[in-house]
Amino acid sequence: MEITTVAYSGLGEEDVLLARWYGQLKGAGELAKVFGSDTLYEFLDGFQKPATLIYGVDRSTADVVYAFWVELTIGVSVGLWTREDVRSNRSIVASILKLYEMALGYSPTIVSCTGHPKTVDSMVKIGYTIVGKIPRLWSGEDVWLLYLTKESFARAKGVRSVKLEKVKQAKAVEAKGE
């Protein structure tokens, strides 16, 4: 899969792509849980300034594979969505972690929320701290509020690096044994 990362410019051609993505999200039941919006207008309006949308497009299918949005107001608010079939793809994860590093360059703390309980675990693994759960906030669904600091992201990155090194060492030992 070849992916192109694009910063949303608000041109009409991009809106067609995002409208198609909106339809896919709505059909999969992910729209309200991820974006808290029901209409196409609300969806597209959420990516207008002061928000910035960065998204990855699969060149072969022209489908949105991941989206990362940053809103610069008092601090930084970040949202993230990845297509289900690529959620554990290492290159996608690496790209997203780089986007987090960039966002932490704007502010030492990022605030995020999610309507997906499984996502909370993944967020904690990269350094997020859970503030709490807000009952029935988005279309009657619970939402978790979390924050990420530069320091907690760096600590989690160190843990990821150690784990990755151990996996590499185990594979090297395994390869010698063959």
**How far, in Å, CA of 77 to CA of 88, rounded?**
23
Model pLDDT, residue 163: 66
**How far, in Å, CA of 156 to CA of 124, rounded?**
9
- What burial class does residue 74 get, using C-beta atoms within 10 Å of its C-beta: 0-12 exposed, 13-18 middle, 19+ buried? exposed
**How far, in Å, CA of 140 to CA of 65, rounded?**
27
Q: What are 17-20's contacts with CB under 8 Å, separation 24+?
A: 17/57, 17/62, 17/64, 18/43, 18/44, 18/47, 18/64, 19/44
**Domains located in the chain, CATH noted:** 3-167 (3.40.630.30)
Model pLDDT, residue 162: 67
Give the confidence band of 10 by pLDDT, cuts at 50, 70, 90.
confident
**How far, in Å, CA of 32 to CA of 159, rounded?**
33
Which of 30-44, 55-69, 111-125 ranks highest by mean pLDDT?
111-125
Percent of the chain's residues with pLDDT above 90: 19
Write the DSSP symbol of residue 74: S
Please write the tens of the pLDDT for every residue from 21-49. Answer: 999 889 988 887 777 777 898 888 888 87
Name the token pair of 155: 């600590």
Please write the tens of the pLDDT for every residue from 128-158. Answer: 999 999 999 887 889 999 999 999 999 998 8
* CA of residue 3 relative to chain centroid, distance: 15
Higher pLDDT, 59 or 178: 59
Determine the residue type at 155.
Answer: R
